[in-house]
Chain A
Amino acid sequence: DARVTQTPRHKVTEMGQEVTMRCQPILGHNTVFWYRQTMMQGLELLAYFRNRAPLDDSGMPKDRFSAEMPDATLATLKIQPSEPRDSAVYFCASGLTGTRNIQYFGAGTRLSVL
């Protein structure tokens, strides 16, 4: 059963620390998306990649967030330094262009910054 895998599932850290979240997209998918979900804002797109190239990261605070795809099986989202307002659930999704454009989501990383 193909699925998007995210690690860690939960992360508690202190303000100022670096946080790295990882995502393994579904094998064969060529698009990867990072979302942030909060009660107030819902699901917000932070960044997305096609064929490992960043297409749009306008949703990310550039001074502290960075997203990369070192290879086709790994996407990372880093926050440095982290702040309490970054507390949220971060989702990764993957998809395949040229199909029905469906995005498949991972289970998310719940981040708490104290």
Chain B
Amino acid sequence: EDQVTQSPEALRLQEGESSSLNCSYTVSGLRGLFWYRQDPGKGPEFLFTLYSAGEEKEKERLKATLTKKESFLHITAPKPEDSATYLCAVQSILTGGGNKLTFGTGTQLKVEL
């Protein structure tokens, strides 16, 4: 069974204080690892997909990296608008073309002035 564990559960940062969120996973053949952002009262919003170990993706202050066992979401010089819950999910090659995702429980990030 595919499993995703995210840490920490919650993180409080000062504006400009860089940090990283962790996503550890076990999956029977990784098709892709996904990062989503979720704001209160809204649905998850897609950020990145990573497909193989060593791959990196960047978007503004966010950078996602992938190893064979975990992924990191690095946040550089965060701003209050980066406050959200960040969700990690994996897709197994065994799901075929169904695109089924298994999600972690998320890291709730709060960035303060």
Q: Which A residues fall within an 8 A CB radius of B?
A: 4, 31, 33, 41-43, 45, 48, 50, 55-56, 91, 93, 95, 97-98, 100-108
Say yes or no for B68: interface residue by CB 8 A criterion: no
Name the residue on A nearest B31 (C-beta). A101
Q: Which B residues, 78 to 97, have Cβ-Cβ distances below 8 Å to chain A? A: 87, 89, 91, 97
Question: A42 with B97: in contact, given A100-B49, A102-B34 (CB under 8 Å)?
Answer: no
Chain B 19-32 interface mask (CB, 8 Å, partner A; 1/0): 00000000000011
Question: Which residues from chain B contact A108 at a C-beta distance below 8 Å?
Answer: 42-43
Cα–Cα distance between A108 and B101 once the two chains are bound (Å): 17
Across the interface, B46 reaches (CB within 8 A) one of A41, A56, A98, A102, namely: A102
B46 adjacent to A43 (CB under 8 Å) = no
Across the interface, B98 reaches (CB within 8 A) one of A50, A93, A102, namely: A50
Question: Which residues from chain B contact A103 at a C-beta distance below 8 Å?
Answer: 34, 46, 99, 101
A101 adjacent to B32 (CB under 8 Å) = yes
Name the residue on B nearest A106 (C-beta). B43
Cα–Cα distance between A48 and B100 once the two chains are bound (Å): 8
Q: Provide 15 A-B residue pairs closer than 8 Å at the C-beta atoms, listed in order of the A residue.
A: A31-B98, A33-B101, A41-B105, A42-B87, A42-B105, A45-B100, A95-B99, A97-B98, A100-B32, A100-B49, A101-B32, A103-B34, A103-B46, A105-B43, A106-B43
Say yes or no for B55: interface residue by CB 8 A criterion: no
Cα–Cα distance between A106 and B80 once the two chains are bound (Å): 24
